[in-house]
Amino acid sequence: MAFSSALFSHVWFHTKPNLNRKLPPKLNKTNRKPLTVAAIPPLSTATDISDGTTLAVIGGGSVAALAAVLSLADPEKRRQLQAEEVGGGDKEVVKEYFNNSGFQRWRKIYGETDDVNKVQLDIRIGHSKTVENVMKMLTDEGPLQGVTVCDAGCGTGCLSIPLAKEGAIVSASDISAAMVAEAEKQAKEELFTSKNELSPAPVMPKFEVNDLESLDGKYDTVVCLDVLIHYPQSKADAMIAHLASLAENRLILSFAPKTFYYDLLKRVGELFPGPSKATRAYLHAEADVERALQKVGWRIRKKGLITTQFYFAKLVEAVPA
């Protein structure tokens, strides 16, 4: 079910991670090979991650039968009910989800616990590949010591912590207070109580609870991973423009690619979770993201795709045109 695409600019990637970084044991291999630079938010953000049944439907049934089932589904109605429950729109739904059931689910996926099923482990591996690719993008152009980075939508700190270990000055934010508290806790444990001595000493990331619209300041690099999936294209355009206005040299974005295949997977996933178990997921066409960047004077320099069986991530690195 997974597939990959060729890179516009080939990058050598070490599958053996830095020993100071938190990565799943299965990623610790010593081979060296070219890997597509790319990343994207898992489509599972929009589904209840329980087992492989949801996506297995595609392999076991005909397209015609699947289309018939989808025609009876009304995910939009479920999302409307969910929004009414929390008294707001997409932003309020996302905030509520990642402060409660979503926080518990994704903290487990992003962590190191063995208490994950095969789907969750697959998504963990895919997300780790995304973080590795972003770190490779950033370090390829020189040391990160003293470089300012905005990690917009930091989650539990999967990117912020490795950035700090490399000496970057990190401003990290998330709409979820629970996620920010967890990220700060993990950063303190990894940066200042680890047995591995880092030289020079890392600077603790500045964590804050904030939505993307409220971010301000200027940074050498702005990174926003697995967040645009919560924005319809009409709002994503404005958000991309806003993030670009914060970046001086580079903007790195991941988004769920809008293709017939991925759209079908998303619709299947929406058949299964209850209305309170997930946020609405929006897929984005690469051409739309590129146009949004061009409107504000930016161009895509690198792009590619990361996929595992249940994780699909498009990553683009943009620079001023």
For residue 294, give the CATH number of its domain: 3.40.50.150
Residue 285 within a domain? yes
86 neighbors 96 (Cβ within 8 angstroms): yes
Residue 120 within a domain? yes
Backbone angles phi, psi at 43, to 5 degrees: -65, -20
Give dist(CA 96, CA 103) in Å, integer: 9
Residue 186 within a domain? yes
Q: Please give the distance of CA 64 from its chain centroid, rounded to a whole number.
A: 32
Q: How many domains does the chain have?
A: 1
- How high is the mean pLDDT of the chain? 75
pTM score > 0.85 for this model? no
Q: Which pLDDT score is estimated for 5?
A: 29
Three-class SS of residue 56? helix
38 neighbors 303 (Cβ within 8 angstroms): yes
Give dist(CA 188, CA 195) in Å, integer: 13
Residue 158 within a domain? yes
Nearest to 244 by CA among 304, 315, 298, 285: 298
State the residue range of the domain holding 155. Answer: 70-320
Q: Which pLDDT score is estimated for 274?
A: 46
Residue 44 within a domain? no
Give dist(CA 48, CA 43) in Å, integer: 10
Residue 76 within a domain? yes
Q: Which pLDDT score is estimated for 42?
A: 40
Q: Which residues contact 181 (CB under 8 A, 6 or more apart)?
A: none
Give the DSSP H or E segment for 307.
strand 298-307
Q: Which pLDDT score is estimated for 140?
A: 93
Could you read off the pLDDT tens digit of each residue along the chain, which spans 321 residues?
332 322 223 333 333 334 344 444 434 433 433 333 333 334 333 333 333 323 333 333 444 444 444 444 444 554 454 444 444 467 888 888 888 888 888 888 888 888 889 989 999 999 999 999 999 999 998 999 999 999 999 999 999 999 999 999 999 999 999 999 999 999 999 998 755 566 678 899 999 999 999 999 999 999 999 899 888 888 999 999 999 999 999 999 999 888 655 666 655 555 554 444 456 778 999 999 999 999 999 999 999 899 998 888 899 999 999
Give the DSSP H or E segment for 99.
helix 90-99
Tens of pLDDT, residue by residue over 78-106, are 445 444 444 446 788 888 888 888 888 88
198 neighbors 167 (Cβ within 8 angstroms): no
Residue 167 within a domain? yes
